[in-house]
Structure 1
Amino acid sequence: MSDEIKQALEERLAAYCYGRVRADEDPDYYSFELTVAEFFRLYDNKPDKTKLGLAGELVVHLLLPHGHDHLESACLYLNKEEHNVKKGFDLTFRDRNDGGLWYGEVKSGRVTGAQTADDKARERIGEAERGLDAMFTSNVERKRWDAAILDAEAALSGPSAASVKDLLRADFKTINQGSPAKVRALLCAVVMHPFDLSEIDAGSGQTLIDGVKSRGRFEDIRILLIQQSDLELLIEVLRASWVQAEAA
């Protein structure tokens, strides 16, 4: 949690939660103070497993631009209708390089028992892979695409928003007609573990990529592995920033 990351969290939180376009419309209404208050209304009343997932998704939103800066967020972090976890796809992104669409799935977990950090990363990526694939095959629900289209309207503007919405509708139509969609997948694993016991091996990412490619579920893939000794530190930093902002 460097000072750079803390600053990015404060500067970008409203855009993560509500979409960059919507947040820019009224900076006072979508201020850091009001946004973080809304976040904790959601976060503080959830069970530990849900909190872990919420924190994991937040850290992915925060860190993704550092290594994938060509991916432009087309999604919202907060549920738009109620104080609950977000429905639909965890992530959707527009690729600035070619205008294409990426779907993302985030899975978070703690290393337990005799597991290593690599074990947990492999487990979480496997679950993300299967879960995202099911959304396009055995567990297809139109509401996911409807939610993603609304997200794109709040996160993007002009031709970018129109293009992403067209791609989302086209993917659903393809699946609804019984054909397979060509899905570009961003699979994310957020692993919590004591660093003095084990760390994710540098070669694990490539091994996981090779495994996912061999199963042929996706047209293209990217994998993001994040390891953190205590993911709650992110939440503590956010809460401290909120208290400081309120005091000011």
Structure 2
Amino acid sequence: MYLIQGVTKEENSDYVLYFIENLSDELKEEIRNRLVAVCYGADQAQSALKIYSYKETVKEFVKRYKNNSSISEDRKKGMIGELLVHVILELEGRFTTASPFFNMEERSFKKGYDLALFEGATNELWIAEVKSGKIQKNQKDASSAAVGLINTAKNDLKMRLNDTNTSLWLNALNAAKVFMSDNNNQKEVVMKLLGQCADDAVEENNSSNSFNVVLSATLFHNISERMEAARIEKKYFRIIGEKLFKKVFIMIIQKETFEAVFDFLESEG
């Protein structure tokens, strides 16, 4: 089924596969309409300040992507992959995002978790990890590559959610405070939930199996060879069997290249 023009999906209640078949005009418009809010927050998207304008946000994205001589191709894939995850999560509407795409302090990697998410239907917090990349030499097909990325996301969250590093939760609290609008009645609930996680980390009571997680991947691979839902389902049930997390939701995006999204944004600036 179509999510929007150029983007199809295969959906299950516990996992969903997205195929970006082309960077359609509708997808470009969604990126335009959501970029400032995704990067900075809802209030900033309504701001009259020039620094929060769409054009300046695009320029800032390009600087973070392009102007750092040490930035690797893997980091570029990661930036585009995570941006696409943000946009699709916003489009789907199941979760309210509680963390910005940009690292607010500097133009380096964002510290802590990729995304804190709030599910209004259940009043639950979800922690998301996004991994992006292409097929590796030891992977025989798109499904193997997608499973590999999900496995990496799983292992990262397993390690972090069992960690007593309180700075991860301080970063999450600060991000939600800045990112979420004061007019959003969910903000207070999110801050309370994140605060409890922070207190549990102080007391060394955090355990990964008490958290809901979104394991997300963006695979850059020829769309003529698609990921198979059956393979992702098999991986989902393996992860459930490991009992590492309270609940698990998997979302995977497949797109042929990452350069096209950047080229579009660069042309917008």
> How many Å apart are 1:27 and its aligned residue?
5.5
| 1:21 CA drift (Å) | 2.3
Matches within 5 A, 1:76-115: 76-113=100-137, 115=140
- Equivalent residue number for residue 201 of structure 2: 175
Shift of 1:15: 0.6
**Aligned match of 1:34:** 56
Distance 1:205 1:212 in 2: 11
How far 1:61 moved relative to its partner?
0.6
Shift of 1:129: 0.5
SS across alignment from 2:196: helix
Distance 1:199 1:165, change over 3 A: same
* Structure 1 contact 21–154 (Cα < 8 Å) conserved: no
Equivalent residues in 2 for 1:214-229 (5 A)?
214-229=241-256
The number of residue pairs the alignment matches comes to: 239
Residue by residue over 1:64-95, the C-alpha shift from the partner in whole angstroms, topping out at 9 and shown as x without a partner, is 2344x120110111111111121111011111
Distance in 1 (CA, whole Å) between partners of 2:250 and 2:60 is 30
AA of the residue aligned to 1:205: I
Separation of aligned partners in 2, 1:222 and 1:205: 11
Query: Of residues 138, 153, 163 in structure 2, which corresponds to 1:128?
Result: 153
1:109-142 Cα offsets, whole Å, 9 max, x none, are 11133531111111110110110111111x4422
- Secondary structure of 1:6 counterpart: helix
Residue 234 of structure 1 is matched in structure 2 by: 261
Answering whether residue 99 of structure 2 is matched by residue 75 of structure 1, we say: yes
> In structure 2, the residue corresponding to 1:97 is in which secondary structure?
coil
> Over aligned residue pairs, what C-alpha RMSD do you find?
1.6
Mapping of residues 42-61 of structure 1, within 5 Å = 42-44=64-66, 45=68, 46-61=71-86
What's the TM-score once normalised by structure 2's chain length?
0.84
Contact 2:98 2:175 in 1 (8 A): yes
Counterpart AA for 2:103: N
Q: Between the two proteins, what is the percent identity of the paired residues?
A: 27
Q: Is structure 2 residue 172 aligned with structure 1 residue 148?
A: yes
Q: What does 1:1-20 align with in structure 2 at a 5 Å threshold?
A: 1-20=23-42
Q: Is the 8 A contact 2:36 2:57 kept in 1?
A: yes
Structure 1 unaligned segments of length 5 or more: list them: 243-248
In the TM superposition, residue 174 of structure 1 has moved relative to its aligned partner by: 2.1
C-alpha distance in 1 between matches for 2:48 and 2:232: 40
Q: Does the aligned pair in 2 maintain the 1:120–1:191 contact within 8 Å?
A: yes
